[in-house]
């Protein structure tokens, strides 16, 4: 098989044989997804150290939120660009932005500059994750796609285990800045593997790209979170910012209703299968990013654990995730995606319950809850993605995949920030004091974090209800 044939879509129920070119390109796709996924998790372990070194603990959530907001609102633009101009040039551009911004993060001199560079890094990540999965959707027929998408979900999970441990290693040895610098060699190898990728594109429909919609959404969400109190001492609201945010979001809605190529394709959200699947992805993503952001902080700041213990507490999520992903990819065509989605929702509820009850059980209990949560994410995410991609044609597959990523990360961006507001309101100055090994501060931080953990449990329950809604709507059809 030649490289020009590698990306040619085959009949949905056929199997395409492997070749050296296909293996190399698949490896390049996996590596690009790995570097973007790792940068989501590697920061979690280092955040307490970064906050202690750079100061401004009230800005703690924005290291996550800034990355996730642009990584979310840029996704539809990247998806539409991939549908119009092809997957390869768009993916290469996203990789270049991501790696360049990673280098800038390594040179950050204060919390504000780090957040700014993370915002730029998020723009690149907003391309890598959905376009990689879109190429997989083009690359393999349905019979192979379910298993391959499960494998790519497992890549995300491996990144989840490597990220916290690698972050802990860098923080304890060469310094936290290397968690960003390491992206350069990984990005170079991924780009080299993808150079042989020659796709055979189908004709995409015309239409413009909704830059204004994405800009209004980015500014509106960022101002909304700032206005609600994220980044201010004590989580105090900023009313002027809230008013401006409301105006920007209203403008975004007006633009979307008139746009022929909207940032958020409302017709897909109205679909009886895709709509509930997107809702479940958003709720599960909020839960996942919440655990990634606040479980290490609880271990290091609340329990007084080491940076390695903080990383190891979140790492078991990636042990459960590939198990769930591989299982779901192998049995989905036999048991149906609805049953797997419900099983994933039940596992998320179990994991969140363990975390909410971890007060008297310590580090091991937190690690166990992370494992069960990862298992739920693996069982849930792959079936939802396969169903979304299989419901639309080639010309909409990039947009539909991007919408799924959009929902998951916008949930994480908003959710992590709102949880940070809750933590700041409950813990106050005690949160920053806990990072300096203050016993009183540690107690205040624990109280604030347990309030966050109960919010995570509510999100898990809502995800389970969304999966039941999917089953109910599917049966009614």
List Cβ neighbours of 258 (8 Å cut-off, separation of 6 or more). Answer: none
List Cβ neighbours of 341 (8 Å cut-off, separation of 6 or more). Answer: 280, 379, 380, 383, 384, 467, 470, 471
Q: Is residue 6 part of a domain?
A: no
Closest CA to 227 of 251, 213, 246: 246
pLDDT at residue 298, rounded to an integer: 79
pLDDT at residue 231, rounded to an integer: 53
Region of 264 on the Ramachandran plot (φ > 0 left; ψ -120 to 50 alpha; else beta) = beta
Q: What is the dihedral of CA 271, 274, 276, 277, to 10 degrees?
A: 180
Query: Domain of 292?
Result: 17-192+205-476
Q: Is residue 12 part of a domain?
A: no
Closest CA to 374 of 32, 141, 41, 23: 41
pLDDT at residue 7, rounded to an integer: 44
The DSSP secondary-structure symbol of 18 reads P
Whole-number Å distance between alpha carbons of 221 and 70: 10
Q: Is residue 319 part of a domain?
A: yes
pLDDT at residue 213, rounded to an integer: 80
Q: Is residue 31 part of a domain?
A: yes
pTM assigned to the model: 0.67
Q: What is the pLDDT of residues 55-101, one digit of tens each?
A: 766 676 777 777 877 877 787 788 778 777 778 888 889 999 999 99
Q: What is the pLDDT of residues 338-349, one digit of tens each?
A: 788 889 999 999
Whole-number Å distance between alpha carbons of 311 and 165: 5
Nearest 5°: CA angle at 187, between 72 and 145?
65
DSSP string for 81-132: HHHHH-HHHHHHHHHHHHHHHHHHHHT--SHHHHHHHHHHHHHHHHHHHHHH
CA distances for 304 relative to 51, 216, 448, angstroms: 16, 42, 15
Whole-number Å distance between alpha carbons of 257 and 175: 48
Q: Is residue 4 part of a domain?
A: no
The DSSP secondary-structure symbol of 16 reads P
Token look-up 């709102």 returns: 418
Number of domains in the chain: 1
Q: Is residue 2 part of a domain?
A: no
Q: Is residue 95 part of a domain?
A: yes
Q: What is the pLDDT of residues 266-285, one digit of tens each?
A: 777 777 778 888 888 889 98
pLDDT at residue 420, rounded to an integer: 77
Give me the residues of the chain with pLDDT under 50, please: 1-13, 205, 434
Alpha helix ranges (H) inside 140-273:
142-172, 178-181, 183-194, 211-228, 239-258, 266-269
pLDDT at residue 11, rounded to an integer: 44
CATH number for the domain harbouring residue 176: 1.20.1250.20
End-to-end CA distance of the chain: 41
């Amino acid at each position: 098989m030649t490289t020009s044939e590698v990306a040619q879509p085959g009949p949905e129920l056929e199997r395409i044989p492997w070749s050296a070119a296909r293996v190399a390109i698949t490896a390049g796709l996996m590596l690009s997804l790995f570097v973007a996924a790792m940068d989501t998790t590697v920061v979690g372990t280092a955040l307490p150290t970064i906050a202690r070194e750079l100061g401004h603990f009230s800005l703690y959530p924005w290291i996550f939120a800034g990355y996730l907001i642009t990584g979310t609102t840029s996704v539809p633009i990247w998806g539409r660009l991939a549908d119009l101009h092809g997957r390869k040039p768009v993916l290469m551009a996203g990789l270049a932005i991501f790696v360049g911004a990673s280098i800038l993060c390594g040179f950050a001199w204060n919390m504000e500059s780090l957040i700014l560079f993370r915002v730029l890094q998020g723009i690149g990540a907003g391309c890598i994750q959905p376009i990689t999965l879109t190429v997989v959707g083009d690359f393999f027929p349905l019979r192979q796609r379910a298993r391959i998408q499960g494998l790519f979900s497992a890549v995300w999970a491996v990144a989840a285990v490597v990220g916290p441990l690698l972050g802990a290693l860098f923080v304890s040895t060469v310094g936290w800045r290397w968690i960003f610098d390491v992206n350069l060699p990984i990005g170079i190898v991924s780009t080299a593997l993808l150079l042989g990728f020659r796709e055979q594109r189908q004709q995409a429909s015309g239409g413009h790209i909704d830059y204004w919609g994405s800009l209004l959404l980015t500014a509106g969400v960022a101002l909304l979170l700032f206005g609600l109190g994220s980044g201010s001492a004590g989580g105090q609201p900023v009313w002027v910012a809230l008013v401006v945010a409301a105006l920007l979001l209203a403008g975004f809605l007006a633009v979307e209703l008139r746009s022929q190529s909207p940032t958020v394709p409302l017709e897909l959200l109205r679909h009886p299968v895709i709509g509930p699947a997107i809702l479940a992805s958003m709720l599960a993503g909020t839960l996942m990013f919440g655990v990634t952001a606040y479980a290490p902080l609880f271990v290091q700041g609340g329990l007084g654990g080491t940076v390695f213990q903080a990383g190891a507490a979140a790492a078991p999520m990636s042990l459960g995730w590939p198990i769930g992903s591989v299982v779901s990819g192998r049995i989905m065509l036999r048991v149906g995606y609805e049953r797997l989605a419900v099983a994933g929702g039940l596992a998320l509820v179990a994991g969140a319950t363990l975390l909410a009850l971890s007060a008297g059980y310590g580090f091991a209990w937190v690690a166990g809850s992370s494992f069960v949560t990862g298992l739920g994410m693996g069982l849930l995410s792959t079936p939802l993605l396969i169903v979304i991609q299989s419901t639309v044609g080639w010309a909409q597959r990039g947009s539909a995949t991007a919408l799924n990523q959009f929902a998951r990360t916008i949930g994480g961006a908003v959710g992590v920030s709102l949880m940070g507001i809750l933590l700041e309101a409950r813990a106050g100055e005690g949160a920053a004091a806990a990072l300096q090994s203050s016993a009183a501060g540690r107690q205040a931080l624990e109280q604030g974090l347990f309030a966050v953990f109960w919010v995570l449990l509510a999100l898990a329950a809502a995800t389970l209800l969304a999966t039941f809604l999917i089953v109910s709507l599917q049966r009614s059809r």
